[in-house]
Amino acid sequence: MKKLFIALLSLPLLCYSAMAQTTPTADEILDKYIAAIGGKDALTKVTDVTTSMSSEGQMGTIMITRKQKLPNKFSMVINANGMEVMKQTGDGSKIVMGGMQGNSNTLEGSAAQQMTAMNVIFPELHYAENGIKSTVVGPEKIDGKDTYKLSHTTADGSATWTDNFDATTGLKVQSVVTSNNARGQMTMTSGYSDYKEVNGVKFPMTITQQSPRGPMTMSVDNVKVNKGLKDSDFTIK
Question: What CA–CA distance (Å, rounded) separates 30 from 40?
Answer: 11
Q: In the prediction, which pLDDT does 20 show?
A: 47
pLDDT values of the chain reduced to their tens digit, one per residue, 237 residues: 444 333 434 455 544 444 445 889 999 999 999 999 999 999 999 999 999 999 987 768 899 999 999 999 999 999 988 889 899 999 999 999 887 666 788 888 887 888 898 899 999 999 998 899 999 999 999 999 999 999 999 988 888 999 999 999 999 999 999 876 656 678 999 999 999 999 999 999 999 998 887 889 999 999 999 999 999 999 987
- Is omega for the bond preceding 212 within 30 degrees of 0, making it cis? no
Question: What CA–CA distance (Å, rounded) separates 29 from 8?
Answer: 33
- Give the bridge partners for 217, in sequence order: 208
59 DSSP 8-state letter: T
Q: In the prediction, which pLDDT does 17 show?
A: 43
Q: In the prediction, which pLDDT does 21 show?
A: 53
Q: In the prediction, which pLDDT does 100 show?
A: 66
Please report, for the chain, how many H helices and E strands are present, in that order: 4, 13
Q: The dihedral of CA 154, 156, 159, 162: what is its sign?
A: positive
Q: In the prediction, which pLDDT does 102 show?
A: 63
Question: What CA–CA distance (Å, rounded) separates 169 from 101?
Answer: 44
CATH superfamily of 24-232: Lipoprotein localisation LolA/LolB/LppX (2.50.20.10)
Instruction: Tell me the residue type at 230.
Output: K
Whole-structure pTM value: 0.85
Residue 110: CB atoms within 10 Å: 13
